[in-house]
Each structure stands twice: as C-alpha cells, then as structure tokens.
Amino acid sequence: MKALVKQQSDVGLWLADVPEPTIGINDVLIRVHKTGICGTDVHIYNWDAWAQKTIPVPMVVGHEFVGEIVEIGSNVNDFRVGDIVSGEGHVVCGRCRNCMAGRRHLCKATKGVGVNRPGAFAEYLSLPMTNVWHHAPGVDPDVASIFDPLGNAVHTALSFPVLGEDVLITGAGPIGIMAAAVVRHAGARNVVITDVNPYRLDLAERVGVTRAVDVRSTKLTDVQQELGMTEGFDVGLEMSGNPSAFRDMISNMCHGGKIAMLGIPEGEMAIDWNEVVFNMLTIKGIYGREMYETWYKMTVMIQSGLDITPVITHRMPYTEFQQGFDTMRSGNSGKIILDWTV
C-alpha cells in the first residue's frame, strides 16, 4: 500500500510502498479516506530535536483520520465492516492505576499512533478496537478527519466552565481557532484570541470571536478596556506554546482565573509566580483527549450546531502531500486535509 513514511533520519517525508498492516484478534483494519496534517507531523517532517529523540525510523506517520472498517478481529463485537470511524491517537496500557480507574487520558504509558506505532498517512491502518470511534451519521467527513485535534480543542476549552465568562485564547493556530468556536458554542461572553500571524487572525474572525488581536500592535489591557472588562479574563486557553503569550495571559487574568494549557513550549519557560500566587490562579496542563468523554462532547456539539469548517483551508490528494507540508510550514493555513481515496 501507499504510505507517507519517515524513511531516514533527515528532513522530509517520503511516499513509499509498504506492506499492509495485519490485525490481531482485538484490532480492526481501516481503509483510510481522509487525513489531517497536524503540527506534530510537521515536527516529524522538520526532524527537530523532539522528533529525533522520539520517532524510530522507518515510521509511517499521521494520526488524524477518518476511514471505513474493512476487517475486524475475532474478538471484536462492537464494530462492523463498513462502519465510518476515526481513531483516538493515544493507545493506552489499560493496566496502570489511572487506566484501571477509567482515567485513560492519564495513562502512564501512552503510545502515539504515527509516533511510536504505524500511523494513518496510509491506505490502511490497524488499530485496537478500544481506540476506535464510530461516527454518528451525518458528520461531515472532512470534520470527522480532524476529530483528534478538535478533541484537543474541546478537552482544553471545556476544562473550566465558560458559560457567560470572558475567555482569552493565546495562539490562533488550528486548535486555538477550533477552541474559540467551542467556547462560543458553549456560551462564553467575550472570546478574545491572539496571534502574531495576520492570516490566522483573519481565519479566527470567521468562527465568531469577539476580537482577534495582533499582540505585536495591540495590548490586551486596551482590549479589556474597550470591551468594558474591569477584572480580567475568567478563563485562559494557552494554545501557542509561546512564553511571551503565556506571560501576557497570566498578567491579564482575573483573580481566581483558570488557565488550561495545551500549547507545548520549546523548553523551560519563566513566569512571574507572584502573579499566580497573589491572584490565586489555577493552571491545568492538558494532553490529548479524555477517553471518551471528549469524543462524545465533540459529536453532540456538532449535532447541536458547532461549525468548525472555516478552520479547514486546504484539501488535496495525498500525492500532493509535499505542497500540503510546505503550506503548513509557511503558517498561512488552517487545517490541511489529504484525500487517500484518489
């Protein structure tokens, strides 16, 4: 089958013929229809320090997908050939304390699809049945293909109550923009998103934010004043991984403000801890999605009108992956979807 492979310890990805995956008794085989390119895939493409120490080569990469089940293992009772599914990209151990308690997103031994085990940028993917999400009828296939990053957005955005609250999102990447749409859907009052990239700030405007702020030219304190906010943001969603964005967020929170932090900083990141202590802030780290409450929430929010389609800016056949990665790396894109059925 065709697959996008990290074939050697170098920058790039290679379209290659690799053997079709086989399945065990608890697995399903999926014919991949569409995939999303994730920031993680770009790290792997760029072969940065994280990728070099994490990814064994050769490795089929990719983890955001939608497809159709074409074969099931003999122990699998809940899925049928023909089911349209996506997959949770974190494969958990099932045996640690958190897994045993049903808190699988807190597993101590998580393995990543397309990171530690063969991924979804391929015609076929084998997954344990415990990682498969059967889509409700009517979910747009493009949206279904990005349930994994939408799940990052939803997990973060719903970490703290947002109904009626003023929410600050730092970073208008695809996940920040989806999070903006989610908190808007969930009833936030003011939704302010920041970035330093005009293309992405324009994109954020399309999901109905209150203000898309270029922090190179506008101060958050001025935005607060314009909006009549006197005490700071109630909820912060850090989605840039950028130290100055995080520091700016901390300085603009209300007393008792809650911060959910998804963005991954490149290294250590200094903040003024006095602001955290004296303003009694809560900071919660977020990794992946809750299994499977986040998946449930994504589905029901889409059924109740959440529209994240503006974040999808490019669609192309998988054979044009190079253009897809070049566009992602330029920063002038939202989500890019590769079609594997061509």
Catalytic residues: 40, 43
- CB of 144 or CB of 175, closer to ligand NAD: 175
Q: Is 201 marked within a binding site?
A: no
- Answer with the entry of ligand NAD, Zn ion, none that 107 interacts with (C-beta below 5 to 8 A by kind): Zn ion
- CB of 126 or CB of 194, closer to ligand NAD: 194
- Answer with the entry of Zn ion, ligand NAD, none that 8 interacts with (C-beta below 5 to 8 A by kind): none
- CB of 26 or CB of 313, closer to ligand NAD: 313
Write down the least CB distance from residue 241 to ligand NAD, Å: 3
Strands 312-317, 335-339: pairing kind: parallel
The residues, any chain, with a CB within 8 Å of residue 306's CB and separated by 6 or more, are 181, 182, 185
Q: What angle do CA 291, 161, 89 make, to 5 degrees?
A: 20
**With contact defined as beta carbons under 8 Å apart, do 177 and 170 qualify?**
no
Asked if 93 touches Zn ion (CB under 5 A), the answer is yes
Q: Is 254 marked within a binding site?
A: no
Strands 233-238, 90-91: pairing kind: unpaired
- Alpha carbon distance 22, 28 (integer Å): 9
Options 23, 30, 38, 107; binder of Zn ion; rule CB under 5 A = 107
CA 199: distance to chain centroid?
Answer: 19
- Answer with the entry of ligand NAD, Zn ion, none that 85 interacts with (C-beta below 5 to 8 A by kind): none
Neighbours of 19 (CB within 10 A): 8
The residues, any chain, with a CB within 8 Å of residue 190's CB and separated by 6 or more, are 166, 167, 210, 211, 227, 229
Span near Zn ion by CB under 5 A; candidates 72-80, 98-106, 165-173, 264-272: 98-106
Write down the least CB distance from residue 100 to Zn ion, Å: 8
Peptide bond into 58 cis (omega under 30): yes
Write down the least CB distance from residue 107 to ligand NAD, Å: 13
Q: What residue number has its CB nearest to Zn ion? A: 107
Sites of contact with ligand NAD (CB under 6 A): 39, 152, 170-176, 194-197, 200, 215, 239-242, 244-245, 262-264, 286-288
